[in-house]
């Protein structure tokens, strides 16, 4: 049984067995109807020999040996029977096909051709014999019939081969062509992947390079604004600078977000936060801009809107800022209102304006990338046409939906709905309405690690403005930070950049978390980075960060983060 299974592993075996079986049956039928003893004997010898072979195959005889033995047996039998049956005139010559076709399909095309030659030689010999038959030979047909008979056998014989060869040739050609195409496609795909990688790398590094100086520009601008409170002229200049820098930042973020969406890299970072505070922060952001217009600017948050929610706070803020920014940009008279309602088990945010509106046929188009409602919008209002595309995708990423109601000249209402439910307030977190404070006169020690002197200066200024008695040490890379941490008094907080020469933020943090001295190991660390690649940020956080701010960071946010971390430390100590 086992041997039989083994024998059937070769896919050609069933085919060979079938031919063998048919040949055995044919041999015995021939024997039964044979008129003369020579044919009878030959048929019985052939049928018996083939039967032995059949058993041998089932017991493991190789297909090659089977074909060879069977063919020679067949040829011998055919030679005898055709000899008796009229040589070239005999219809038994059709069996010759079986000889070579079997070789061709079961063994190899080379063997098939070899047998074709053998068959042709046999037929030629028979033809010659038919033409020059000895007197004893029963000349049944004329000489011309011998040649015709030869042709009758030869043409189908060759046709059987040629048809198959022709299709095999076509198949081989098609296969070669498709393999060639596949190789070309694979090369193209590799090239495309390389280009995509290069593009991502390029966008990431350009974004990093742009964010780093923007951090300094926006940060220092904020510090200066605080200091020129009583000088309206200077305040105005700084406010304009701030507006332009903010605008530039929006463009940089939009391009980066869009490219991250395209490469599927953008993912939601869910956190628990107070919804009302975030909505108000987005709303308040435009207050300075509204002051220079005559627009009525209002925000209405219904009482039943959840207080604490779980979603990506930063992305929610981004969508709100985009819709409010658009509403203010495209409204010259009247009002811009932000409304937040608890609807259908989630929260609906609507931004209604009385601005220029959008014609019905343009409404679908504006959600497409780089699309604006009218060709002259770009010249009149500026913009990249990416804001709504990104907002829509962000809302979808947060499992929500977005839409608009608008009429040309009658204002617009852009709305989005998010599946936000009321969550429990996180343990140990207070409402932003009543923040905890550190003692501002406290003598705190900070270590600022950043390779850009302007960024170090900015952080130092922010810290010193809030904690005038604090001490701030600066290092330009992680290696120097290691020295500073090992010598001198302990620090209350380290603020560290991620990308730095010599030793970067991640390596430094890993060293800190595995340091021998417990006061180094337990040091709170706030990461500050212009790198926005999700995998890099994750590595940075996993190295042991206590907080992370993306550059350009909001000065107020930085103060509150520092406060939180310092407070945590002092309650632990
Ligand atoms: P951008 O404003 O940068 O051009 P957006 O994707 O944010 O890109 O907006 C696409 C277009 O949609 C705008 O150019 C404008 O034609 C139209 N649009 C968006 N918001 C409003 C609005 N509140 N009122 C009128 N048109 C708007």
Q: Is residue 241 part of a domain?
A: no
Residues 271 and 413 in one domain: yes
Residues 467 and 382 in one domain: no
Residues 464 and 378 in one domain: no
For residue 351, the SS3 value is strand
Strand 308-311 with 271-274, pairing = antiparallel
Please tell me the distance between residue 265's alpha carbon and the centre of ligand 1 in angstroms.
25
Instruction: Give the domain CATH number at 369.
Output: 3.30.565.10
Residues 380 and 478 in one domain: no
Pocket lining: 328 vs ligand 1, CB cutoff 6 Å: no
For residue 350, the SS3 value is strand
Identify any residues that bridge with 494 across adjacent strands, giving them in sequence order. 447, 525
Pocket lining: 334 vs ligand 1, CB cutoff 6 Å: no
- What phi and psi values does residue 270 have, to the nearest 5 degrees? -75, 135
Q: Which of 47-51, 106-110, 292-296, 457-461 has the lowest mean pLDDT?
A: 106-110
Query: Can you give the pLDDT at residue 431?
Result: 46
- What phi and psi values does residue 503 have, to the nearest 5 degrees? -145, 120
Pocket lining: 355 vs ligand 1, CB cutoff 6 Å: yes
Q: Is residue 433 part of a domain?
A: no
User: Which of 36, 65, 13 lies closest to 44, judged by CA?
Assistant: 36
- Last-in-domain residue among 140, 164, 180: 140
Q: Which atom of ligand 1 is nearest to the CA of 373?
A: 16
Q: Is residue 349 part of a domain?
A: yes
Q: Which of 34-38, 208-212, 323-327 has the lowest mean pLDDT?
A: 208-212
Residues 516 and 474 in one domain: yes
Identify any residues that bridge with 449 across adjacent strands, giving them in sequence order. 475, 496
Structure tokens at 251: 């463009």
Contact assessment for residue 112 and residue 128, using Cβ atoms and an 8 Å cutoff: no
| Confidence check: pLDDT of 573 > 50 | no
Cβ burial of 320 (10 Å; 0-12, 13-18, 19+) is buried
Nearest CA to ligand 1 atom 21: 326
Q: Which residues of 102-122 are buried (b: 16+ CB within 10 A; e: fewer)?
A: bbbbbbeeebbeebbebbbeb
Q: Which atom of ligand 1 is nearest to the CA of 411?
A: 24
Contact assessment for residue 468 and residue 476, using Cβ atoms and an 8 Å cutoff: no
Pocket lining: 325 vs ligand 1, CB cutoff 6 Å: no
Query: Can you give the pLDDT at residue 185?
Result: 96
Residue at token pair 């212009």: 530
Query: Can you give the pLDDT at residue 212?
Result: 80
Residues 468 and 391 in one domain: no
Nearest CA to ligand 1 atom 22: 327
For residue 44, the SS3 value is helix
Q: Mean per-residue pLDDT for 265-282?
A: 85
Percent of the residues in the chain that have a pLDDT greater than 70, as a whole number = 90
Residues 291 and 360 in one domain: yes
Instruction: Give the domain CATH number at 557.
Output: 3.40.50.2300
Range of the domain at 25: 2-140
Pocket lining: 390 vs ligand 1, CB cutoff 6 Å: no
Nearest CA to ligand 1 atom 8: 385
Side-chain half-sphere exposure of 280, counting CA atoms within 13 A? 10
Query: Can you give the pLDDT at residue 483?
Result: 87
Structure tokens at 457: 């200066």
Q: Is residue 468 part of a domain?
A: yes
Average pLDDT of every residue of the chain: 83
State the Rg of the chain over Cα: 44
Using CA atoms, how far apart are residues 285 and 328, in angstroms rounded to an integer? 12
Q: Is the peptide bond before 552 cis (omega within 30 degrees of 0)?
A: yes
Domains in the chain, number: 3
Q: Mean per-residue pLDDT for 99-121?
A: 81
Helix, strand, coil percentages, rounded to 5, for the chain: 60, 10, 25
Query: Can you give the pLDDT at residue 432?
Result: 43
Q: Is residue 239 part of a domain?
A: no
Is residue 179 very low, low, confident or very high in pLDDT (cuts 50, 70, 90)? very high
Using CA atoms, how far apart are residues 309 and 424, in angstroms rounded to an integer? 8
Q: Is residue 548 part of a domain?
A: yes
Residues 9 and 134 in one domain: yes
Please tell me the distance between residue 246's alpha carbon and the centre of ligand 1 in angstroms.
18
Report pLDDT digits (tens) over 6-65: 666 777 788 878 888 998 998 899 889 888 888 889 889 989 999 999 989 888 888 888
Pocket lining: 321 vs ligand 1, CB cutoff 6 Å: no
Residues 560 and 505 in one domain: yes
User: Which of 568, 563, 308, 349 lies closest to 435, judged by CA?
Assistant: 563
Report pLDDT digits (tens) over 407-439: 888 899 999 999 999 888 876 554 444 444 555
pTM for the whole thing? 0.55
Pocket lining: 362 vs ligand 1, CB cutoff 6 Å: no
Contacts of 101 (CB under 8 A, 6+ apart): 112, 160
Residues 401 and 450 in one domain: no
For residue 138, the SS3 value is coil
Q: Which helix (H) or strand (E) holds 273?
A: strand 271-274
Using CA atoms, how far apart are residues 499 and 544, in angstroms rounded to an integer? 16
Choose between 257 and 359: higher pLDDT: 359
Q: Which of 14-18, 155-159, 348-352, 379-383 has the lowest mean pLDDT?
A: 379-383
Residues 287 and 412 in one domain: yes
Q: Is residue 169 part of a domain?
A: no
For residue 495, the SS3 value is strand
Residues 20 and 80 in one domain: yes
Q: Is residue 147 part of a domain?
A: no
Using CA atoms, how far apart are residues 78 and 87, in angstroms rounded to an integer? 10
- Last-in-domain residue among 140, 162, 196: 140
Number of neighbours of residue 479 by Cβ within 10 angstroms:
16
- Last-in-domain residue among 113, 140, 167: 140
Query: Can you give the pLDDT at residue 214?
Result: 83
């Amino acid at each position: 049984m086992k041997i039989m299974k083994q024998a059937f592993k070769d896919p050609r075996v069933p085919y060979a067995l079938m031919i063998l079986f048919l040949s055995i049956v044919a041999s015995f039928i021939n024997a039964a109807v044979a008129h003369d003893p020579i044919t009878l004997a030959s048929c019985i010898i052939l049928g018996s020999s083939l039967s032995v072979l059949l058993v041998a195959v089932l017991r493991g005889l190789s297909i090659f040996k089977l074909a060879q033995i069977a063919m020679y047996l067949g040829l011998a039998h055919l030679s005898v029977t055709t000899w008796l049956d009229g040589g070239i005139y005999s219809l038994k010559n059709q069996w010759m096909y079986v000889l070579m076709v079997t070789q061709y399909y079961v063994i190899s095309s080379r063997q098939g051709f070899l047998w074709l030659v053998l068959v042709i030689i046999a037929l030629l010999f028979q033809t010659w014999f038919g033409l020059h038959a000895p007197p004893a030979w029963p000349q049944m047909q004329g000489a011309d019939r011998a040649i015709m008979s030869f042709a009758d056998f030869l043409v189908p014989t060759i046709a059987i081969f040629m048809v198959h060869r022709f299709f095999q040739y076509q198949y081989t050609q098609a296969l070669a062509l498709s393999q060639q195409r596949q190789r070309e496609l694979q090369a193209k795909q590799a090239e495309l992947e390389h280009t995509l990688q290069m593009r991502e790398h390029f966008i990431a590094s350009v974004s990093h390079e742009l964010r780093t100086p923007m951090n300094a520009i926006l940060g220092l601008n904020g510090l200066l604004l605080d200091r020129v409170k009583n000088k309206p002229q200077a305040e105005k200049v700084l406010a304009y600078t701030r507006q332009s820098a903010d605008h530039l930042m929006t463009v940089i973020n939009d391009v980066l977000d869009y490219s991250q969406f395209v490469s599927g890299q953008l993912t939601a970072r869910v956190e628990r936060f107070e919804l009302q505070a975030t909505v108000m922060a987005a709303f308040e952001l435009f207050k300075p801009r509204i002051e220079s217009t005559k627009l009525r600017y209002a925000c209405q948050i219904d009482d039943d809107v959840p207080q604490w929610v779980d979603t990506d706070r930063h992305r929610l803020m981004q969508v709100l800022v985009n819709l409010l920014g658009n509403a203010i940009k495209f409204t010259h008279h009247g009002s811009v209102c932000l409304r937040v309602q608890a609807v259908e088990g989630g929260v609906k945010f609507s931004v209604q304006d009385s601005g220029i509106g959008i014609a019905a046929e343009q409404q679908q188009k504006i959600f497409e990338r780089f699309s604006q409602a009218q060709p002259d919008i770009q010249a009149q209002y500026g913009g990249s046409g990416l804001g709504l595309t990104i907002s829509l995708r962000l809302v979808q990423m947060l499992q929500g939906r977005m839409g608009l109601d608008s009429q040309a000249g009658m204002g617009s209402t852009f709305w989005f709905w998010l599946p936000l439910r009321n969550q429990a307030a996180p343990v140990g977190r207070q409402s932003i309405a009543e923040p905890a404070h550190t003692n501002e006169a406290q003598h705190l020690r900070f270590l600022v690690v950043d390779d850009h002197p302007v960024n170090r200066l900015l952080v130092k200024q922010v810290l010193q403005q809030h904690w005038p008695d604090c001490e701030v040490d600066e290092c330009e890379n992680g290696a120097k930070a290691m020295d500073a941490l090992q010598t001198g008094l302990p620090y209350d907080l380290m603020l560290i950049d991620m990308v730095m020469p010599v030793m970067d933020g991640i390596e430094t943090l890993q060293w800190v978390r595995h340091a021998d001295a417990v006061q180094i190991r337990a040091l709170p660390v706030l990461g500050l980075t212009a790198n926005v690649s999700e995998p890099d940020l994750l590595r940075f956080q996993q190295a042991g960060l206590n907080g992370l701010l993306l550059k350009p960071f909001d000065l107020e946010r930085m103060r509150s983060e520092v406060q939180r971390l310092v407070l945590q430390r002092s309650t632990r100590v």
